[in-house]
Structure 1
Amino acid sequence: MSLPYGAGPVAFVFPGQGSQYVGMGKALFDVSETARQVFKRADEILGFALTRMCFEGPEQDLNDTINAQPAILTVSIACLNVLRERWQSMGQVIAPQYVAGHSLGEFTALVAADVIDFENALVLVRERGRLMKENGTLRPGGMIAVLGLDKDVLEGVVAEAGALGVITVANANSPGQIVLSGEGPALDRATELARARGATRVVRLPISIASHSPLMARAAAQFGEIVARLPLRQPRIPVVANITGTILTSADDIRKELADH
């Protein structure tokens, strides 16, 4: 948990949906009062035992986007607070030059940058999950990660699979890992095509909705209205935007980024 004295520039990057698993955060909870306080606060704010769900499941409930989003935020903040406490106890002050997050993780990055309090962020992502779940019930879908396939080839896969339903490139995680989002039949066809055309791996993500796709348009519009009224502070640490890769330095920029998620 420590970095050597004289370490170079540091950035904090936080995970998004799909990283949840039953038992996450328990090892930290067992050894750290700081972590226990974060989990306790989350249970109080949400009004149910999120902690128990993180530790014991059931997996289906944890994977539900309305639960996965606050669960991941809570575990991430618990880790962040414990790291800061540990470094401080060792006489180290680690001040990241940038913070960023993968999709949902951008909300954790905003907490880390003191743009929004943990408590408000928790309520916000719970509501985000509710809207997305509601939208997903009306327009069901899912997501797959495709590894080891050239982007141009994958675009052809998407175009062909699109004959069976809505499908789009949702996340370009790296040159060798791209996430597709859309309706079930189109994703199934894309999986077959990607494997046939040389993908090293195609993985169905443990996500109950089609994030970052046209299927979420209704939820995005509703969430945008909430974000427009959200009180935000200026970032104390530069936040790297998910969508553009630019630095978010003002509350207005952050509102637009969150609304376009």
Structure 2
Amino acid sequence: MQALLLRTTSSSTPLSTMTSSLTLPSISLNRFESVTSCNSLFFHCSRNRVRSFGLKNLDRSRVFMSVSVGSQAVVDDALFANYKPSTSFLFPGQGAQAVGMGKEAQNVPASAVLYKKAEDILGFDLLDICINGPKEKLDSTVISQPAIYVTSLAAVELLRARDGGQQIIDSVDVTCGLSLGEYTALAFAGAFSFEDGLKLVKLRGEAMQEAADAAQSAMVSIIGLDSEKVQQLCDAANQEVDEANKVQIANYLCSGNYAVSGGVKGVEAVEAKAKSFKARMTVRLAVAGAFHTSFMEPAVSRLEAALAATEIRTPRIPVISNVDAQPHADPSTIKKILARQVTSPVQWETTVKTLLSKGLKKSYELGPGKVIAGIVKRTDKGAQIENIGV
């Protein structure tokens, strides 16, 4: 038997608010933490009451309709294919962490609550490590990933508490994050709860660390070359090493800044040859191993199992994937994409260029550091981006 499933929410609901539901005959209304949309039929709501319907010009609160067959909701994965961005939230990835982050969060109750929830889930005082370090501990994969996830969402609450902050949050119509930041973006977009996202990020960090420990691998940033030249550099290095030490481009950040991952000997060969390819410099990255390559394959099965057990919903706004630089609406597809993400190159350069080409007017980087702002500015000097740090 088929039933129509209507989901409604107001984007003013804080991240820490619990989900509530109202069941009607053959129709269920699930209140989400933020807006959900669909390209088939929209009902505009005000204070949870339907007042009209149309196909565009959606209000802050919207109802998303999908058909459910049995217990499985059938969602068109191309729901957001024709998205037109105006305001974006961008979330940082591993490497953005710095001792001292999270200090401002203590002054905002909703931010402080997130760190308290994190302590309960993780079993240690994450805020203390964020603020006081030591740096070596904060930089470890198993700590830095949860720390950046929580701190970035704390930045959302910090913004919400400012004058005009809620209006900015309400205006966001697309979001994405760099590698780990994709989980943060999905949490912000209501695809899963803060708690479930943190549990996934915790497991992701542990699984990636274990995969890194199982092989001698590394990452290095190549500065000053375009992607074609970096690929040629990788090809040259790969001619000198065995299969276990091969390298590849792992992060397409922006023109002149690409990260290469692979076996340690392969990375060393890249560093040795970089100047002959006219690279300005190389920077060995302080990460556990060759992220976003086949070296992370051992982490995939653990991620798949965790994702299968996690409730994931259609995001309320487009969330751009690192794997293919496209937004996905189908929860089962999102699960597959997240499992593939750790072994797939990050397509951040394509993501930023696509957002700008589609008319993006303003971006906000939420969380520690200003790496993303730098990348966006390198892509387009005229791009407007503001950092909301904690």
Q: Which has the higher helix share?
A: 1
Q: Which amino acid aligns with 1:97?
A: D
Please name the residue that 2:96 is paired with: 19
Q: 2:199 aligns with which of 118, 123, 126?
A: 123
Q: 1:210 and 1:24, CA in 2 relative to 1: closer, same or farther beyond 3 A?
A: same
Please name the residue that 2:246 is paired with: 166
Aligned pairs for 1:144-183 within 5 A: 144-162=220-238, 163-164=240-241, 165-183=245-263
Q: Is the 8 A contact 2:99 2:138 kept in 1?
A: yes
Between the aligned partners of 1:151 and 1:157, the Cα distance in structure 2 is: 10
Q: Is the 8 A contact 2:105 2:155 kept in 1?
A: no
Q: 1:116 and 1:93, CA in 2 relative to 1: closer, same or farther beyond 3 A?
A: closer
SS in 2 for 1:19: coil
Please name the residue that 1:133 is paired with: 209
Superposition TM-score, scaled by structure 2 size: 0.62
The Cα shift of 1:98 comes to: 0.4
Superposition RMSD in Å: 1.8
Query: Residues 191-237 of structure 1, C-alpha deviation per residue, up to 9 Å, x if partnerless?
Result: 22123321123222221121101111111232123223321111111
Q: Is the 8 A contact 1:19 1:72 kept in 2?
A: yes
Aligned pairs for 1:1-261 within 5 A: 9-26=86-103, 28-88=104-164, 94-162=170-238, 163-164=240-241, 165-261=245-341
The Cα shift of 1:90 comes to: 7.4
Q: 1:150 and 1:39, CA in 2 relative to 1: closer, same or farther beyond 3 A?
A: same
Please name the residue that 1:3 is paired with: none
Q: Which amino acid aligns with 2:339?
A: A
Q: Which amino acid aligns with 2:94?
A: Q
Q: Which amino acid aligns with 1:183?
A: G
Q: How many residues align?
A: 253
Between the aligned partners of 1:63 and 1:140, the Cα distance in structure 2 is: 18
Name stretches of at least 5 consecutive residues in structure 1 with no aligned partner. Answer: 1-7
Query: Residues 145-172 of structure 1, C-alpha deviation per residue, up to 9 Å, x if partnerless?
Result: 1121122221121122223313111111
Q: Is the 8 A contact 1:149 1:194 kept in 2?
A: no
Superposition TM-score, scaled by structure 1 size: 0.90
Identity of counterpart residues, as a percentage? 32
The Cα shift of 1:110 comes to: 0.5
Q: 1:45 and 1:199, CA in 2 relative to 1: closer, same or farther beyond 3 A?
A: same
Q: Is the 8 A contact 1:100 1:241 kept in 2?
A: yes
Which entry has the higher C-alpha Rg, 1 or 2? 2
Query: Residues 55-89 of structure 1, C-alpha deviation per residue, up to 9 Å, x if partnerless?
Result: 12121211111111100001100001111232556
Q: 1:134 and 1:84, CA in 2 relative to 1: closer, same or farther beyond 3 A?
A: same
Between the aligned partners of 2:145 and 2:260, the Cα distance in structure 1 is: 19
Q: Is the 8 A contact 1:144 1:179 kept in 2?
A: yes
Query: Residues 118-159 of structure 1, C-alpha deviation per residue, up to 9 Å, x if partnerless?
Result: 111111111111111111111132211112112222112112
Q: 1:38 and 1:167, CA in 2 relative to 1: closer, same or farther beyond 3 A?
A: same
Q: Which amino acid aligns with 1:23?
A: G
